Amino acid sequence: MVDLALSSDQQDIVDEARAVARRCLAPRAADHDRDATFPTDNIADLHEAGLLGLLVPTEYGGTGADLTAWGLAVAELAEACGSTALIFAMHSGAARLLAADAPGNPVAQRVLKEITTEGRLLSWGFSEPGTGGNILNPQLRATSDGDEVRLRGTKAFCTGAGHADYYLINAHSGESEFRRSQTMALVPAAQDGLAVKETWDAMGMRANSANTLLLDCRLPATHCVGGPGGGMPLLTHALPALILGLASASLGIARAAQGFANEHVLRRKLAPTGQSLAAFQGVRLHVADMATTVHTARLTLLHGAWTAENDPLEALGALNMTKYLCNKAAISVADTAMQVTGGHGFLRANPLERHYRDARAGAVMGANLDALRDMIGKAALGLDPRSDSVTAPTGETRP
């Protein structure tokens, strides 16, 4: 049975994330957004607070948090700074993939320890210029050559590119079907043959540095998580964190927009009556819409996280709906907040216009809302969400 109450350990993690978000991230968010600067200071503060290792198992010095506490922590960070939350979510998803292989993999063990002791940052390079968000079919090649693996290709929109310490890169590595033969390569930032092309000048998540990676390099085969061609089973462990992280960031942005709007409609008094905007029923209906949308998004996040931890067979379906609802919640709440805050919402001096721009990111990130909707529709019809076949399970048709 789903229990939505937080344990004291979970609540402590959320409280710590909220404290760092309010004390450190919030005051810098507008500057990082305006200047499109990578928030190195925020990452150092997350490390200082012990949050960079939230999804790192305790044996490597991490917290070993569950996805519920972690997801709510991402939302807290996003309420202050969407870009930092996204960077943190990508880093944590990559750490979770390493953790799945760590028991038999000394390289993964070392890097996980570096995260918790030195604050090393991971980045997740799966999207490509050719295949876009279809991350399970990489065109980037990994070819084995003795004790080495050669990587050749390009990764697009890689959050933290140019600032991360390691890049987790997926590559097509075999003659057989792509999905079964993927290599997950851990590429150090200083690797010969790795170059960052600065392409990130975006409307939202401006501090994200989601740049392009150009790779033509040779790595020791020991840097392939799960072994060369053996990365795919690990992805099933990491994917829930990635999907949930994008949903959580959206929840945080929705809450930030809602919070700004609610405060504004209570404070803003109109002449000649002197009554606040909250006196208009039309405004209160918008406030109600925002409240119920945020409430629904939080509930679905808690359910998705619980399902990912406790019911692996149902996890993907639940997480797809979680991401869908949370991404849409951010867009709709930010839009409604813009309406009820009038011209003030437009001002760059206020944070709402940043939330409005940041809210768009989750919808185009893997899996994008249209692909998600298609998968949800297939699942609802009892069809295989990953197949294009629409053959019904039984051949019967009603008259």
Question: How many Å apart are CA 350 and CA 87, to the nearest integer?
Answer: 23
Minimum Å gap between C-beta 201 and ligand FAD is 12
Distant-in-sequence, close-in-space partners of 186: CB < 8 Å, separation ≥ 6: 98, 107, 108, 111, 166, 167, 168, 169, 219, 223, 224, 225
Question: Closest CB to ligand FAD among 158 and 302?
Answer: 158
Minimum Å gap between C-beta 47 and ligand FAD is 19
Between CA 94 and CA 44, with CA 82 as vertex, the angle to 5 degrees is 60
Match 């200071």 to its residue by tokens.
Answer: 41
Minimum Å gap between C-beta 168 and ligand FAD is 9
Question: Closest CB to ligand FAD among 208 and 250?
Answer: 208
Q: Which residues bind ligand FAD (CB under 6 A)?
A: 90, 124-127, 132-133, 157-159, 205, 208, 210, 361, 364-366, 368, 370-371, 374
The β-bridge partners of 237 are none
Q: Cβ-closest residue to ligand FAD?
A: 132
Task: Tally Cβ neighbours within 10 Å of residue 267.
Answer: 11
Question: How many Å apart are CA 209 and CA 97, to the nearest integer?
Answer: 22
Question: How many Å apart are CA 357 and CA 201, to the nearest integer?
Answer: 13
The β-bridge partners of 142 are 151
**Buried b / exposed e across 282-317, counting CB within 10 Å, b at 16+?**
ebeebbeebeebbeebbebbbbbbbbbeeeeeebbb
Minimum Å gap between C-beta 369 and ligand FAD is 7
Minimum Å gap between C-beta 278 and ligand FAD is 34
Question: Closest CB to ligand FAD among 161 and 301?
Answer: 161
Helices (H), strands (E): how many in the chain?
Answer: 13, 10
Match 């359910």 to its residue by tokens.
Answer: 303
Minimum Å gap between C-beta 244 and ligand FAD is 15
Question: Closest CB to ligand FAD among 168 and 337?
Answer: 168
Minimum Å gap between C-beta 253 and ligand FAD is 12
Q: If DSSP codes are grouped into helix, strand and coil, which group holds residue 397?
A: coil
Question: Closest CB to ligand FAD among 13 and 25?
Answer: 25
Q: Are 196 and 211 in contact (CB under 8 A)?
A: yes
Distant-in-sequence, close-in-space partners of 312: CB < 8 Å, separation ≥ 6: none
Question: Closest CB to ligand FAD among 151 and 283?
Answer: 151
Q: Are 133 and 371 in contact (CB under 8 A)?
A: yes
Q: Are 228 and 183 in contact (CB under 8 A)?
A: yes
Question: Closest CB to ligand FAD among 164 and 261?
Answer: 164
Question: Closest CB to ligand FAD among 14 and 316?
Answer: 316
* Strand 211-220 versus strand 148-158 pairing type: antiparallel
Minimum Å gap between C-beta 204 and ligand FAD is 7
Question: Closest CB to ligand FAD among 96 and 264?
Answer: 96
Minimum Å gap between C-beta 330 and ligand FAD is 13
Question: Closest CB to ligand FAD among 114 and 374?
Answer: 374
Minimum Å gap between C-beta 129 and ligand FAD is 7
* Strand 166-172 versus strand 122-125 pairing type: parallel
What the block records as the tokens of 337 is 């907040």
Question: Closest CB to ligand FAD among 75 and 287?
Answer: 75
Minimum Å gap between C-beta 247 and ligand FAD is 14
DSSP 25: I
